């Protein structure tokens, strides 16, 4: 199943919310949950930096050029 980038980011956010909820309730598994949460943050940040931010920059440049015309 192929997801678009927005769906993937939204799914990541929901996963992080679930991990935080589990962190509040499950103190015994906290080290493992923190490791999982850290890995999610790193992967998510890399994805945004490699895919999302360059697209936003391109969009802004195009928009700035078109507004000068």
As a whole number of angstroms, the distance between CA 54 and CA 58 comes to 6
In the chain, what percentage of residues exceed pLDDT 70?
96
pLDDT of 27-57, one tens digit each? 889 999 999 999 999 988 888 898 888 989 9
Mean pLDDT of 8-30: 90
At CA 12, angle to CA 51 and CA 29, rounded to 5? 135
CA distance readout (Å), 17 to 11, 60, 67, 68: 10, 31, 39, 42
pTM, full prediction: 0.69
pLDDT for the residue numbered 27: 84
pLDDT for the residue numbered 8: 83
Neighbours of 22 (CB within 10 A): 15
């Amino acid at each position: 199943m192929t997801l678009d980038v927005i769906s993937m980011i939204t799914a990541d956010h929901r996963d992080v919310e679930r991990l935080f909820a589990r962190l509040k309730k499950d103190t015994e598994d906290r080290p493992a949950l923190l490791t999982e949460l850290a890995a999610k943050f790193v992967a998510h940040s890399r994805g945004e930096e490699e895919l999302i931010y360059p697209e936003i920059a391109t969009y802004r440049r195009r928009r700035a050029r078109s507004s000068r015309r």
